[in-house]
Amino acid sequence: MATINPNTGKRQLYGRRIGRPLKTNQAERLDEGLARYGLTLEALEQTANLPGLFSGPVKEVWLEIGFGGGEHLAYQAAHNPDVGMIGAEFFANGVSSACGHLLRADLHNARLLHGDGRELLDRLPKASLSRAFILHPDPWPKKRHHERRIVNTEVLDILFAVLRPGAELRLATDHSSYKVWMLQKLLDHPGFDWTATCKQDWSERPADWPQTRYEAKALREGREPMVLSFRRRP
């Protein structure tokens, strides 16, 4: 993740870019996948037409910030062929995994940025997204690191700008303090409305929201995830 360095005015990145060294097949999958699905910040800066980034026609564009292993992103791309899915992930192992999902399904409506999602957000055209996802982001549990959490006022301001009026923002976390933090940041923001009307709306995923590896791990370890859906106000 990243925060602004007060001395340089530039983003300071935090977290590992790679975990265990990639095995040969993982590295090959990463190279093959990025050759087909890779997206650069330079390409974003040069386009005002996000649907034009995809090899086939798409009616709208969705974004997933921090897609982890890519199973959710690939599911959404496969089940919504008229939607272009853009994903950003800093972790090389996750990008390699996502490339595998996309390649095996031979999907044509996905693009991946191997880098920080906030850098991508800064380059998106205004009102260009119909949906955005932030699912199980790093909770940065220590209080002195809370400013590194991606769900913050700055990011929500940018999301408000790049989401279309009425667009959906989906979020999830299983971390107890991040649940309170995440919900409070969204409720305090003037640009979003919470869509929940009953407990099931934040305790159960809707049918078109597949389980991720992070949710499965949380459930195995006895942590209940919270799922949130907000609408971007006009």
On whether residue 8 sits in a domain, the answer given is: no
Catalytic option among 82, 122, 138, 188 = 138
178: enclosing H helix or E strand: helix 176-188
Residues in the chain: 234
Q: Which of 132, 116, 92, 152 is nearest to 41 (CA)?
A: 116
For 11-65, how does the pLDDT look when each residue is reduced to its tens digit (9 = 90+)?
444 444 455 789 999 999 999 999 999 999 999 999 889 999 998 899 999 999 9
Measured between its terminal Cα atoms, the distance across the chain in Å is 29
- Per the domain annotation, does 1 fall within a domain? no
142: domain CATH number? 3.40.50.150
**69: containing domain:** 24-232
Say if 216 falls within a structural domain: yes
Write out residues in the chain with pLDDT < 70, as ranges.
Answer: 1-19
The answer to the question of residue 138 being in a domain is: yes
Residue 18 placed within a domain: no
Q: Is residue 7 part of a domain?
A: no
Q: Is 9 domain-assigned?
A: no
> How many domains does the structure of the chain reveal?
1
What is the predicted pLDDT for the residue at 9?
46
d(CA 133, CA 222): 24
pLDDT (0 to 100) of residue 48? 85
Q: What angle do CA 29, 139, 162 make, to 5 degrees?
A: 70
pLDDT at 53: 96
Tally Cβ neighbours within 10 Å of residue 141: 12
Q: Is residue 152 part of a domain?
A: yes
pLDDT of residue 35: 97
Question: Catalytic: 138?
Answer: yes
Tokens of 53: 């980034």
Distance CA 124, CA 104 (A): 28
Pairing between strand 11-13 and 60-65?
Answer: unpaired
What is the model's pLDDT at position 8? 37
Chain center to CA of 196: 21
